[in-house]
A and B are shown apart, each in its own frame.
Chain A
Amino acid sequence: MARSKVDPFTMEIIKDALIAIGDEMFVATQRTSMSTIIYEVLDYACGLTDHKAQLITQGNGVTLFLGTLTSGVQAILDKFGLDGLEPGDIILHNDPYTGGGTHLSDVAQFMPIFYNGQVVGFAANKGHWTEVGGKDAGSWTTDSTEIYQEGLQFPCIKLFKAGEVDQSLVDLIAANVRTPEMTLGDMFAQAASVRLGTRRFQELCDRYGLELVQAGIEALLDYGEEMTRRELARLPKGTYEAVDYIDDDGLGNGPFKVCVKVTITDDQFICDFTGTHPQVPGPVNCSRSGLETGVRTIFKALTDPSIPTNEGCFRPLKIICPDGTIFTAQRPAAVSTYWETVLYVSDLVWKAMAPIVPDRLPAGHFLSVCGVVLAGKHPDTGDLFLLVEPQAGGWGAGHTKDGESGLVSVGDGETYIIPVEVCETRYGVLVDQYGFDICEGGAGRYRGGRGLVRDYRITADEAWYTGTFGRHKFRPWAMDGGQPGSPNYTRFIFADGREPVVVGKSARVHLKKGDVARLVTATGGGWGNPYERPIEAVQEDVKNGYITLEMAEKGYGVILDQDTLEVKGVTKERR
């Protein structure tokens, strides 16, 4: 299959250069941002689209923004049209219900790229601002009931007009957020990154000519599509379904049924979420762009994760879901912790597809970001501290390997857990333990990976704890006869001897000096019948303490000597 004679190598170089622009914007944002959530947690994404809002390239630190840049540009085109844009415009947007919005904390900026007087594309940057105002410090919360409590809304408005900043808008933002310096710092860092992307794109056009660059874009999108379709063609045609339940909405309502029907045809991958629970009062709703992100993430995972991300990859994808569900919430539904529900979108498609794509998809993992906010006064400095972090947990077993222990969830990515030594220095806590949680769950021919236990003993006089631990009631799912994983939870152990309290989601729990918040994440689901796990593997697990002697006997049917770990026999169930 010989290709056309249009120099294929120049095309390759232009393709690489386009991808590199997304990467460079990404690194530039990291360098210039003032808040840790951007430059440590990498909770942002950068990219380019063409003038028709097709994604050309996207640089990501986490998976949560995969569906959002395209629809953001579409919203701009709908509102302003190409004629309503000028060189130097930068548009601000965070409306969750339209145009790629997620929750208000995630603010996007878009810049039209002009070349020879025409809009030829858009540079985009979407990132999590530490503060956008709203009822709680840090803006996101587990008990809001409508969008108006969650912060400032920017419905597709020009922050820069022909290169001039709108100072009234800047002043308004500064007056409505708790950390104006950091928020404005991040805002200008984002603006710098979209300007950089615009400049690099224009330089590329200078070097190769607009026509060749546009041919390169088409080639890149076709490449993404071609690579993806080849992977899709490997999958058996048919319909695959999954059902699951979201624990609650943080306000005591729930559980909520969620479901998907995946249909694979010759040229489409259709995900139909009809039947999913209507939107709910608490802030666990996500909007349609969250739904899209969740599907795109797992679609990339089950095709080929190494294919460069662009619109072409998603051409075979079709998503169906009625309005007004927990996945397609309408204004003014609360969406503050929308990500917990986006994760369910990914997990549902994952669960439906795992049986037929076992080399790419293991059994269910701990799923929840298990986001934690701990606030108080540092006992040594008297300064306010605000610990905000995701947790790592257990991943499900695969069809050829045990699950990974202590890894961040599908919603996170290049996300680093805070070291204990850094944590104890900065925040008013002492970490009593940080290790694997050895509990019932995850047994299988291949064993689920272990979740973690992390004890925060409060050394400040008092502190407030908020946690978004999902999968507290409905555990990580198993595959092929394996055992489901264990739940995520926080256990509060009080210094005054009160009865400990165990919770999933929690908001501003008041703790005193000496109290312990024990953060426990789930063990992943097992894969295959535990009785088929080789005896030597069970022995090794006991030797390494990944399972106890009792679990070896009860879960795997292997009876070992407690001192020598020699095999004394097997149970009749195993026989």
Chain B
Amino acid sequence: MRVATDIGGTFTDLIYLDEATGEVGLTKASTTPHNFAIGVEDTLKKSGLNVADTTFFVHGSTIIINALTERKGVRTGLITTKGFRDVLEITRANRPDIYNMYYTKPEPFVPRYLRLEVRERVNYKGEELEPLNEDDVRQAAEFFKKEGIEAIAVCFLHSYANPSHEARCGQLLRELLPDVPVTLSHEITKEWREYERTNTAVLNAYVQPIAVHYLNTLEKDLSEMGMGPVAHIMQSNGGIATFEMARRAPIRTCESGPVAGVIGAAVIGDLLGEPNILTLDIGGTTVKSSLVENGVPKITTDYRIEYRRDWEGYPIKVPTVDIVEIGAGGGSIAWIDKAGSLRVGPVSAGAVPGPACYDAGGDKPTVTDANLVVGRINPNYFLGGEIKVSLEKARQSMQEIADFFGLSIEEAAMGVIRLADANMINALKLVSVRRGYDPREFTIVAFGGGGSMHAAALGRELRVKQIVVPTAPAVFSAWGMLMADLRNDYIRTRVVRTDQITPAELTSIFTEMEKQATEELAAEKVERSLMVFQRFADMRYLGQEHTVKVPIPGGKLTKKDLAEINERFHQLHEHAYTFRLASPVELVNFHLTALGQVEKPKITRLNRDNARTVEEAYKGDRQVIFDSGFVKTPTYERDRLPVGATLYGPLIVEEPAATTVVFPGQRLSVDEYGFLHIEEE
């Protein structure tokens, strides 16, 4: 039995897969913010599973990201190289909101008086210019003790090139303050750029005691419920890790929920032979999109929390699946601005009070209300009928917009949907068109509560190849977790020109990382035969800043390999930036991805001889607006649709937690896995 749980803002989802029968099951329970572990245990109990049969357990949660955004971490101190304690507060000094003269910079997570400096220095080559002054470290420890510091971060200049001073400083601090966890920047990231690395170390320290407490509690409870040592945690890089790894570097798990959906989408692409995927994950508050090229999700270390177009946020330099998020979801509120234009989002009605149709105190018109008014949502089958929604309240909420523009309520609702669609398209364009990809070469995988509701309209506008709606799209992220491998990323900066490095040197940089990766995966009980290493280098033209990630062959590298790496860089650069130069080429970062492959569940084909027919799935007609005017539209129950069925829009497919809308002129087919495909006729 393989089990994944995903803690969201409102619900904790559980999905399980019985390897013997191929059966997939879901349960959900309320999220329990006072002690998240209880919600996880509730789902396990509710599922009726025999916990002791669990062979593999993956867990994703929002605990780390919440502790950061709600500023509920611990009192943290920072130690830096002498002369550089203000780096954390200076940030990169940019003003993203360029006409706002009242701009306020992000407040650092450690105030200035808790940022201490010690004498030490190495240069960019890693050579020691001044030894670590251990007395300074002792004084810092004493001060931190007096101040009641609960976690310490250490970041020295160029520690990516030579971490020995940080290591010695950490050793001293751990001796002097045995109860205070210490984060050394080079243990989290070995990339250059002191502000980003310092901030990463600080945020890790800030949440570490919380993560340790949570994981310890959960581990203990799971074990008391009879689960063996099979628990893993989802990381931002799209892989899983042991709890032990997550206790050391909790900052690597910030985006555990959202990235799992991307991993799941990549698995589906692989299964269907569609290597180029755009993910469309529509939730209550936001739409998220990511791009998978040739089966590989994009990974970035330019990840920021609280980033907005007009605010810099806080950088976290850990490998993270590259996801774009825009404030446009089912709960997004429609409003009229000062000059009389209709706007949708980014403010959301959230789960409480929720859209007006929930009749729970919210009276603002939301995208969900609009979908209800135009007939796309079935009022009697919302969340499978679990939640009663009021069409009347939804209509009332649209009244103000209708009056303002002199339109009918239905026309107003269509306006809200069209503007929401336009916002959502922006998210899809940001990861595709803006980065030089043509959506026509991509398949959309739509999930989240609202993905399949809007996918057909968005896909048509972007002219994608097709749209795929997986099984149980509302809990697809949890499904994706079942598909993830153990994964550690090792990145280190060393700037060297390709014509000034020997194949032996290059090989040894990677073999050194591979040695470390082997040891760490072995400690996670991965057998040697299941370890897979992938090498990459971030490369650029001399004098430039932007890099391109270039795959590097495995094993012992030769002169010929070096030449090929150079040529591959030129090609990839040309693809990404449209030109190539005759300048020398530099290697900047060396990146090793180490996978510990876990046995994947088989995705079973549904029985082709099933006796189901389209007629059995047919639930009757209802009036729905697609472009303008109500159209009589047949509706179907997804579970009862037979494999191989092909239907023509307009039509609607319903399932308990999602609705799939198919427009006139589009064709829907059900494949052998039960996935829905939408294409233009």
Q: Bound state CA distance, A492 and B436, in angstroms? A: 47
A15 to B577, CA, bound (A): 28
A84-92, A131-139, A421-429, A549-557: which lies at the interface? A421-429
Contact A544 B111 (CB under 8 A): yes
List A contacts of B405 (CB < 8 A): 2-3, 8
> What mask results when residues 534 to 572 of chain A are scored 1 for a CB within 8 Å of chain B, else 0?
000000000111100000000000000000000000000
Q: Given A306-B310, A419-B195, are A406 and B90 neighbors across the interface (CB < 8 Å)?
A: yes
In the complex, are the beta carbons of A433 and B84 less than 8 A apart? yes
Residue contact A435 to B85, C-beta cutoff 8 Å: yes
Interface positions of B from 409 to 440, Cβ below 8 Å from A: 414-415, 418-419, 422, 426, 429, 433-436
- Minimum CB–CB distance from A47 to chain B (whole Å) comes to 14
Question: CB-CB < 8 A to B157: which residues of A?
Answer: 420-421
Could you say which of B84, B99, B123 has the most chain A C-beta atoms within 10 Å of its C-beta? B99
Contact B112 A60 (CB under 8 A): no
Q: Is A405 an interface residue (CB 8 A)?
A: yes
Residue A504 lies at the interface, judged by CB distance under 8 Å to chain B = no
**Which A182-215 residues sit within 8 Å CB-CB of chain B?**
185, 188-189, 192
A301 near B99 (CB under 8 angstroms)? Answer: yes
Q: Which A residues are CB-close (under 8 A) to B93? A: 392, 406-408, 415-417
B340 to chain A, nearest CB (A): 6
Whether A425 pairs with B102 at a CB distance below 8 angstroms is: no
What A residues does B338 contact at CB under 8 A?
226-227, 230
Quick check: is B611 within 8 A (CB to CB) of the other chain?
no
Q: Is B131 an interface residue (CB 8 A)?
A: no
Q: Which of B101, B112, B340 contacts A546 (CB 8 A)?
A: B112
Q: Hey, what's the 0/1 contact readout for B84-109 against A, CB within 8 Å counting as 1?
A: 11110111111111111111110000
B544 within 8 A of A: yes
Q: How far is the CA of A435 from the CA of B116 in the complex (A)?
A: 13
Inter-chain CA distance A562–B112, complex, in Å, is: 18
Contact residues in A for B90 (Cβ distance below 8 Å) = 392, 405-406, 417, 434-436, 452
Q: Which residues of B contact A301 (CB under 8 A)?
A: 99-101
Which chain A positions have C-beta within 8 A of B85?
Answer: 435
Chain A CB within 8 A of B21 CB: no
**What B residues does A1 contact at CB under 8 A?**
340, 404
Given A9-B419, A39-B545, A420-B84, are A430 and B123 neighbors across the interface (CB < 8 Å)?
A: yes
User: Which B residues between 333 and 384 are near A, CB-CB below 8 angstroms?
Assistant: 337-342
CA distance A1 to B339 in the complex (A): 11
A15, A223, A359, A546: the one contacting B102 at CB < 8 Å is A359
Complex interface residues of chain A between 117 and 151 (CB less than 8 A to chain B):
none
Q: Is the CB of A415 within 8 A of B545?
A: no
Please tell me which stretch of B201-209, B448-456, B578-586 contacts chain A, meaning at least 4 of its Cβ atoms lie within 8 angstroms of it: B578-586
- B93, B96, B160, B544: which has the most chain A beta carbons within 10 Å? B93
Q: Min CB distance, B500 to chain A, in Å?
A: 9
**A305 with B84: CB separation less than 8 A:** no
Interface contact B101-A360, CB-CB below 8 Å: yes
In contact, A13 and B99 (Cβ under 8 angstroms): no
What does the 1/0 interface line of B311-350 toward A look like (CB < 8 Å)?
Answer: 0000000000000000000000000011111100000000
CA distance A303 to B582 in the complex (A): 48
Partner of B99, one of A40, A223, A300, A398: A300
CB-nearest residue of chain B relative to A228?
B339
Please indicate the chain A residues that have their CB under 8 angstroms from the CB of B83 in the complex: 431-435, 455
CA distance A410 to B86 in the complex (A): 22
A435–B90 alpha-carbon span in the complex (Å): 8
Partner pick for A181 among B339, B406, B582, CB 8 A cutoff: B582
Main secondary structure of the interface of B (DSSP, over half): loop
Q: Are A545 and B101 in contact (CB under 8 A)?
A: no
- Neighbouring A residues of B192 by C-beta, 8 Å: 419, 421-422, 425
Q: Does A24 contact B (CB under 8 A)?
A: yes
Secondary structure class of chain A's binding surface, majority of residues: mixed
Q: Which residues of A contact B501 (CB under 8 A)?
A: none
Tell me, rounded to whole Å, the shortest Cβ–Cβ distance linking A353 to chain B: 10
Known: A417-B90, A419-B195. A543 touches B113 (CB 8 A): yes
Task: Name the residue in A298, A302, A425 with the highest tally of chain B Cβ atoms < 10 Å from its Cβ.
Answer: A425
State whether A361 touches B101 (Cβ < 8 A).
yes
Interface stretch among A28-36, A99-107, A277-285, A331-339? A28-36
Contacts of A8 in B (CB 8 A): 341-342, 405, 415
Q: Are A32 and B414 in contact (CB under 8 A)?
A: no
Min CB–CB distance A126 → chain B (angstroms): 16
- The interface size of chain B toward A, counting residues with CB under 8 Å, comes to 72
Nearest neighbor of A434 in chain B, beta-carbon distance: B84
User: Do residues B543 and A31 form an inter-chain contact, with CB atoms below 8 A?
Assistant: no
How close is A386's CB to chain B, nearest CB, in angstroms? 9
The answer to whether A9 touches B105, judged by C-beta atoms less than 8 angstroms apart, is no
Indicate whether A305 sits within 8 Å of B342 (C-beta atoms), given known contacts A421-B192, A434-B87, A545-B112.
no
Residues of B within 8 Å of A223, CB to CB, are 339, 341
Q: Are A297 and B99 in contact (CB under 8 A)?
A: yes
In Å, the complex CA distance between A2 and B406 comes to 6
**Which residues of chain A have C-beta atoms less than 8 A from B495's C-beta?**
425
Q: Is A266 in the interface zone, CB < 8 Å from B? A: no
CB closest residue in chain A, given B578: A32
Is A414's beta carbon under 8 Å from chain B? yes
Q: Which of A36, A401, A431, A546 contacts B104 (CB 8 A)?
A: A401
Say yes or no: B86 contacts A406, CB within 8 Å: yes
B581 contacts which chain A residues (CB < 8 A)?
34, 181, 185
Question: A39 vs B418: C-alpha distance in the bound complex, in angstroms?
Answer: 34
Across the interface, name the chain A residue whose C-beta is closest to B426: A20
Q: Is the CB of B101 within 8 A of A9?
A: no
Report Cα–Cα, A301/B92, bound state, in Å: 22
Q: Which of B490-527 contact A (CB under 8 A)?
A: 495
Q: Decide if B146 is an interface residue (CB 8 Å cutoff).
A: no
A380 to B125, CA, bound (A): 10
Residues of B53-102 contacting chain A, CB below 8 A: 82-87, 89-102
Residues of A within 8 A of B407 (CB): 5
A300 to chain B, nearest CB (A): 4
A2 and B402 CA atoms in complex are apart in Å by 9
A421 to chain B, nearest CB (A): 4
Q: Do A544 and B112 touch (CB < 8 A)?
A: yes
Q: Is A244 an interface residue (CB 8 A)?
A: no
| Min C-beta distance of B410 to chain A, whole Å | 13
Answer whether residue B128 sits at the interface, using C-beta atoms and an 8 A cutoff.
Answer: no
With a cutoff of 8 Å between Cβ atoms, the chain B residues found around residue A16 in the complex are 422, 426
Q: Is A12 an interface residue (CB 8 A)?
A: yes
Q: Is the CB of A413 within 8 A of B341?
A: no
Complex interface residues of chain A between 270 and 305 (CB less than 8 A to chain B): 297-298, 300-302, 305
| A314 interfacial by beta-carbon distance below 8 Å | no
Please state if B101 and A185 are interface contacts (CB–CB under 8 Å): no
Q: Are B113 and A2 touching (Cβ within 8 A)?
A: no
Contact of A13 among B94, B101, B111, B419 (CB under 8 A): B419
Which residue of B is nearest A2, CB measured?
B406
Q: Smallest Cβ distance from B544 to chain A, in angstroms?
A: 7
B101 near A436 with CB under 8 A, answer no
| A412: Cβ under 8 A from any B Cβ | yes
A188 CA to B87 CA, complexed, in Å: 38
CB distance from B291 to the nearest CB of A (A): 15
Interface 1/0s, chain A 392-411, versus B by CB < 8 A? 10000010010011111010
Q: Is B612 an interface residue (CB 8 A)?
A: no
The reply on B271 being an interface residue by CB < 8 A is no
Residue of B nearest to A222 (CB): B339
Answer whether residue B546 sits at the interface, using C-beta atoms and an 8 A cutoff: yes
Pick from A5, A32, A543: contact of B579, CB below 8 A.
Answer: A32
- Which B residues are in CB contact (< 8 Å) with A417? 90, 92-94
Task: Report B148 CB to chain A, min CB distance, Å.
Answer: 15
Q: A12-B419, A452-B86 are in contact. List 6 more A-B contacts (CB 8 A).
A: A20-B426, A31-B576, A34-B579, A223-B339, A406-B105, A419-B196
- 10 A–B contacts from the bound complex (CB under 8 Å): A3-B405, A31-B576, A39-B545, A189-B578, A297-B99, A305-B97, A413-B98, A414-B94, A419-B193, A434-B90
Smallest CB-CB A-B distances: 5 pairs: A413-B98, A433-B83, A392-B93, A305-B99, A435-B86
